[in-house]
Structures are given as C-alpha cells and as structure tokens.
Amino acid sequence: MAKKTILDLDIGIDDTMALMEALENPELDVIGVTTTFGNVSQATSQKNALDLTDMFGHPEVKVYPGAKHSLTDDEVYETEEDLWEIHGKNGLGEVVLPESAREAETTEAVDFLAQAIDEYGDDLTIIATGPLTNLALLEQKYPGKLKQAGNVTIMGGAVGVQGNMSPCSEANIVTDPEAAKIVLEESGAPINMVGLDVTMRVMLDRDRVNEWRKLGEIGDKLADVVNFYIDFEEKETPGLGGCSLHDPLAVAVAANPDLVTMVPLDIVVDTEGEMRGRTIGNVKTLRSSENPVNVAMMVDADRFEKQLNRDIQNIIKAAEAK
C-alpha cells in the first residue's frame, strides 16, 4: 500500500522535479503540500505548488501555507537578486505556467501536519526539501508530535563532503539552523537525511531533459525550467553537462530506502560562528545503538537516474493527455 505522504517544499526547480517524482511514484500517496521559504518566498512557493499540481493533473492535492521566515527572523523572507540566477525570481526559471484557480487552504501547515500525524501515525511519511522551519514549528506547538510519524525524510546537510553555502554548510540547513537543530537533535523523529553526500552523485543531463520536448507543450515548458537550472550549474562547474538532483532524490529515498546506503549518526547542528549550519556526527555517541538520524552516504545513481527520468516522462504524458 502506498505511503500517505506530505511534501514540505520551497518550490524551486529541483522541488518541481521532486513533486513530479512524488506524484508518479507508486509507493507514495501525496495527501498535501505544505509550503515554506528558501529557494523562493513562501508566497511564491505556495503559488507554484498550486499551479504545478493543477498542471500535472492533481488538483486533489491541497496546499497549506507555512513558514514565511526562519525562527530567528521577524521579516518575511524574500530571495535576493544574486540568488535569482539559480531558480529564477519565480522559482521556475522565469517560465510562466497556467495559473491555478484554486486557493491555498486556510489551515496552517503546522496544524495540518499535526492532524495528519494524529490520523495516520506510523503510516505517514513527511518529506521536507527546504529549510526545516515548518517541522520545528510543529515541535514547538505540539511537543513530541513529529516522532509519532512513520518517517521523516529531509533533503539537507553535508557530513562527508563540503557544503554548498560555506565550506561546511548546506543551503537548507544554514537558512534556518535553529530549526534544523530542533528537528535533528531534539525531536527524536525517525529521520532519513539525504544530503550533499549523495545528491551530488546523481545528475540529470541536458539531452534527457530535451527529450521531454517531444511529449508536448508541458514537456517543452518543463524542459525550459530545468535547462535554466542546468545553465546555472554549468556556469559553476563548466563541462558538467547537467544538474544535480537534490530534492527528487530525497523523495525517491522516502519511497525506496534501498536506493542508498545509510549510516546511523547522532547529528549535531552548529548554530553559531564560522561553523553555523554544519551537520556532523556526535563523536561521543558513535558507540550508541540509539542514533536517531540515518544519513545517506552512498547511492545507486544509475538506478535512480533512470527511475526519475521514467517517472517524469510518465507524468508529463499523463498531464498532456488530460
């Protein structure tokens, strides 16, 4: 039976692919999307969630408004101009999609998460591919609630490789390390951490992306979206020929954990100084058998890349047919 699944997204380009993988993966039954900030503002993430779920033929997937800023900020988060080159100002590489006629739900993300955990318990999977603010707010409002979920899979962190925002920090974690500390150190939730250790090992190349154009107008638009991301990654790493697959890999691991090899670690999140945003194993508890975070360290890249490309093509075909 497919796992009841909530996606917690800051919808940029790789989140878009993550949403497609979640909607198409037979192991997952997406019951809602909670939105947050990160790649874009929460408001833009919310709009993208509504537009994309409609375009993919899944208007039954409701969208719930979440955190607008980190735990330590008071002002609404907006991406700065120097970040627009990664996902575009609209989070979709400046590609304009048909606008959804739907509105987001009036229930806040935190309350929806709590209600879903109460209803589904061990049968619920939560996949978070942005900053962990919504999950931390859940813990603050409903202490102990997160550990009642069956699984929490996050895209974030870097344990054995350099970070992508500083030598030691990954973007989702460093955007709100105080939230990450609550979730990873204090919640006791059953967590799979899918970080740069594995997401940098998988790639989608431009030739595969351009194959989507043969599938119709939706495929053409999505190829434009993802090629924007590839352009940025090739600028950063000349000759790369594609883009890393951070968020969609987290979704695939939530559905099929055997895609990766995991190491159990008691993860510590640094919140101060030069190491702010670092995620690292606690050396004092390495001998303990009660390490709450399973950290992905190796991935079957070929299997995943083929699976993602197949699922993306299938959801485009289905959407074009509607």
Positions marked catalytic? 10, 246
Q: Dihedral of the CA atoms 204, 245, 53, 134 (nearest 10)?
A: -170
Counting Cα atoms < 13 Å in the Cβ hemisphere of 6 gives 30
Pairing relationship of beta strands 203-205 and 242-244 according to DSSP bridges? antiparallel
Question: Residue 177 in contact with residue 277, Cβ under 8 Å?
Answer: yes
Pairing relationship of beta strands 3-9 and 124-128 according to DSSP bridges? parallel
CA 264 to chain CA centroid, nearest Å? 21
Give 200's DSSP letter.
T
Question: Residue 271 in contact with residue 132, Cβ under 8 Å?
Answer: no
* C-alpha distances in Å from residue 119, one per residue of 4, 142, 166, 204, 205: 10, 15, 40, 37, 40
Grouping H, G, I as helix, E, B as strand and the rest as coil, residue 136 is helix
Of residues 201, 211, 318, 307, the one with CA closest to residue 251: 307
* C-alpha distances in Å from residue 30, one per residue of 3, 75, 105, 321: 8, 31, 16, 21
Report the length, in residues, of the chain: 322
d(CA 64, CA 192): 23
In the chain, the amino acid numbered 216 is: G
φ/ψ (deg, to 5) at 221:
-65, -45
The token duo for 18 is 């993550």
d(CA 265, CA 158): 13
